[in-house]
Structure 1
Amino acid sequence: MNHVDRLHPWCIICLQPNLQHLVLNRFQRRHAAEAHLKVLQQMMPAASYTIMFDSSAEEIEATLSTQWLPS
């Protein structure tokens, strides 16, 4: 995950057949992603979309290991 992706963790995902997905856009805030999702659903109602918070497992582990170390 690059720096820009970390700054924009909220993603709109287009769900495709065979358990595949496509990241359409990334946002800093969930409400911006929800507003964009509403427009997408009005423009293309046949497609399936969802909002996802993208945080890699290694970042979570790094955060937990630094925050919860005993002093």
Structure 2
Amino acid sequence: MPYRERLQPWVLVRLLPKMQNIRVARFRSRSDAEGHLLAYRRLMPNDQFIVIFDPVLPIEHQLKTH
């Protein structure tokens, strides 16, 4: 994952049918993500959006396959 994405752990996600989703944008702060969430809900009231925290673990903490 690029360094820029590691600095932006809050993700705005659009939920789609059949358990699919689209990552709309990434944010540094939760309040920025929630502000955009409110705007998207007003612009597209029939769609579902959520904010998630998607931290990036350093490589040494990720699971390794042997």
Q: Please give the TM-score of this superposition, normalised by the length of structure 1.
A: 0.77
The residue that corresponds to 1:68 in the other structure is none
Q: CA RMSD in A?
A: 1.4
The residue that corresponds to 2:17 in the other structure is 17
Structure 2 residue ranges without an equivalent (≥5): 62-66
How many residue pairs match? The answer is 60
The residue that corresponds to 1:33 in the other structure is 33
User: Residues of 2 paired with 1:11 and 1:51: CA distance?
Assistant: 6
The residue that corresponds to 2:64 in the other structure is none
Q: Please give the TM-score of this superposition, normalised by the length of structure 2.
A: 0.83
Q: Deviations over 1:9-56 (max 9, x none)?
A: 100000001111100000000000001110110111000000001124
Structure 1 residue ranges without an equivalent (≥5): 63-71
Percent identical among aligned pairs is 33
- Paired amino acid for 2:10: W
- Paired amino acid for 1:42: R
- Give SS of 2:39's match: helix
The residue that corresponds to 1:49 in the other structure is 49
- Give SS of 2:15's match: strand
- Could you say which structure has the larger radius of gyration? 1
Show structure 1 runs of 4+ deviating over 6 A: none
User: Residues of 2 paired with 1:17 and 1:3: CA distance?
Assistant: 31
User: Residues of 1 paired with 2:14 and 2:4: CA distance?
Assistant: 20
Whichever structure has more helix as a proportion of its residues is 1
